[in-house]
Amino acid sequence: MAASGKLSILTRHLSTSSVSTQLVKPPIQIFGLEGRYACALYSAASKNKVLDAVEKDLKNLQQQMRADPKVRELLINPTIKRNLKASALKDVSTKAKLNAATGNLLSLLAENGRLKRLDGIINAYSLIMAAERGEVVCEVVTAKQLDDSQRKQLESALKAFLKPNQTIQLTAKVDPSLIGGMVVSIGDKYVDMSVASKIKKYTDIITVPI
């Protein structure tokens, strides 16, 4: 079956109304299994005008997954039968008053044995929603924490990559293994300017047999 056909079926499963099954194209395309689920969920939520409600549901779910071992166990434990997971998640959706589209996603993932992909799907949906608001998600990883002045300088430099109607959503992380420099991901662009990568590059050159 063609990819478009699979996505239409997925959208019908996630949708909560009899609106046309024609896919609503997201502002950015995200690839991979997580991306396909996220794009289908975006399409269904867009048709039902519940984009923000679904985003809120997913963020709350992600927080619970990271904070509550019981929730995490339910989602990722492969020994729990799929039908039991689907039933439990249906109860969770009702008690937590999750949007129907969110509940449908959880049930579908449980039935297909793909709940372990939920965290990645949530991240993919968040990227789509950021693009929907004209935000460009940027992650910067440095060996040491940036101070306020460095962060402002970096934000100013990164804004050169944006369109006039876009804003930047910057996340800064620390990874001492980089030694120095930084790794920047902005939109679909990725640049590794770390000292560690340069050392590896030159080490690879040196160790190549002559």
Q: Is the pLDDT of residue 1 over 60?
A: no
Q: What integer pLDDT is reported at residue 55 of this predicted model?
A: 97
Q: What integer pLDDT is reported at residue 83 of this predicted model?
A: 85
Other CB atoms within a 10 A radius of the CB of residue 177 amount to 8
pLDDT digits (tens, 9 = 90+) for 70-121: 888 888 788 888 888 888 887 778 888 889 999 999 988 988 889 889 999 9
Closest C-alpha among 97, 118, 113 to residue 38: 118
Q: What integer pLDDT is reported at residue 6 of this predicted model?
A: 53
Residue 9: pLDDT band with limits 50, 70, 90: low
Tell me the CATH number for domain 134-207: 3.40.30
Q: What integer pLDDT is reported at residue 129 of this predicted model?
A: 94
Asked if 3-130 and 134-207 have one fold, the answer is no
Residue 53: pLDDT band with limits 50, 70, 90: very high
Written as one string, the DSSP assignment of 45-80 is: HHHTT-HHHHHHHHHHHHHHHHH-HHHHHHHH-TTS
Q: Is the pLDDT of residue 11 over 80?
A: no
**Measured between alpha carbons, how far is 17 from 8 in angstroms, rounded to an integer?**
14
Q: What integer pLDDT is reported at residue 93 of this predicted model?
A: 80
Q: What integer pLDDT is reported at residue 161 of this predicted model?
A: 79
Per domain, the residue ranges of the chain are 3-130, 134-207
* pTM assigned to the model: 0.69
Q: What integer pLDDT is reported at residue 190 of this predicted model?
A: 84
The architecture that CATH gives domain 3-130 is: Orthogonal Bundle (1.10)
Written as one string, the DSSP assignment of 182-203 is: EEEEETTEEEE--HHHHHHHHH
**Measured between alpha carbons, how far is 131 from 129 in angstroms, rounded to an integer?**
5
pLDDT digits (tens, 9 = 90+) for 120-177: 999 999 989 998 998 888 889 999 999 999 999 988 888 887 888 888 888 899 999 9
Enter the tokens of residue 128.
């789509």
